[in-house]
Structure 1
Amino acid sequence: MAVLGGLIFAALAVVVAGFQLGLAAGRPWGHLTMGGRYPGRLPLFMRFSALVFALLWLAMAWLVLAHVRGWAVVQGWGLYSVLGLCLMTTVLNLITPSLPERRLWGPVTVVMSLAMILVVTL
């Protein structure tokens, strides 16, 4: 089950990273992020932060895959950090004032958090 959880998490993390890369490239998806504060294209400084978040999600996907596939020994604090970031992201996506963001990313991050719980507990 831990491998399945890791694969689910990694696949969804790649989807989230792709979304962030789209934001960084100027896609008009601002209503789906940051509480909908910047509808349309994000301002330049927010596009840079989207790029940083994309890299963070890809790094977390690699870390989890490395753990569940046995590619590298990952310390518990690394996995618990990913879980903590996932849970925090889930809460923020569930309480965001942007209804489209909540409807899109709420379920995605709930599944990611549940998948990470499988990874760290099994």
Structure 2
Amino acid sequence: MPLDQLAAMVACVVLGGLAVFQAALVAGAPLGRMAWGGQHEVLPVRLRAGSAVSIGLYALFAYAALAKAGLGPPLVNESFTSVFSWVLTGYFALGVVMNGISRSKPERLVMTPTALLLAALYLALSLN
């Protein structure tokens, strides 16, 4: 299997896991210490709405990975898909920094390596 396709599939699995996590937060699971700065055990309504939006964004990010690896039609066109892949690489790299400086130890321990993995996967996709 080509590296870009493997990277896209792994990214989809990780994003799917994050979507399940965000859905649990929306449903009121006491996992808030690992998300949104870790200030709340159970998220307030406004952050639950943010988690719901995140689920849709993760679906878009997963589709973009598949499109970049040639496993689906491109977003808009191939140039846009390539640029969007680089944007996501930067987004997840920023996520490494932001999660790494979180005051919440659970968030630092779980989300920093998750963001690092996604940044590396999207970098591999972007370079291909």
TM-score, structure 2 normalization: 0.87
Counterpart for residue 116 of structure 2: 110
| CA positional deviation for 1:51 | 0.3
Structure 2 contact 36–47 (Cα < 8 Å) conserved: no
CA distance in 2, matches of 1:115, 1:70: 15
CA distance, structure 2, for counterparts of residue 13 and residue 104 of structure 1: 14
Please state if 1:99 is matched with 2:105. Answer: yes
TM-score w.r.t. length of structure 1: 0.91
Structure 1 counterpart SS, 2:69 = helix
**Map of 2:89 onto structure 1:** 83
Q: What whole-Å deviation, never above 9, does each CA across 1:13-70 have from its counterpart, x for those lacking one?
A: 111111111111111111111221112x100111011100111011101111122134
Using the TM superposition, give the Cα deviation of residue 119 of structure 1 relative to its aligned residue in structure 2, in angstroms. 0.3
- Unaligned runs of 5+ residues in structure 1 are none
How many residues end up aligned between the 2 structures? 121
Quote the residue 2:27 is aligned against. 25
Tell which has more relative contact order, 1 or 2 (C-alpha 8 A, sep 6+).
1
- The sequence identity of aligned pairs, in percent, is 23
Q: RMSD of the alignment, in Å?
A: 1.3
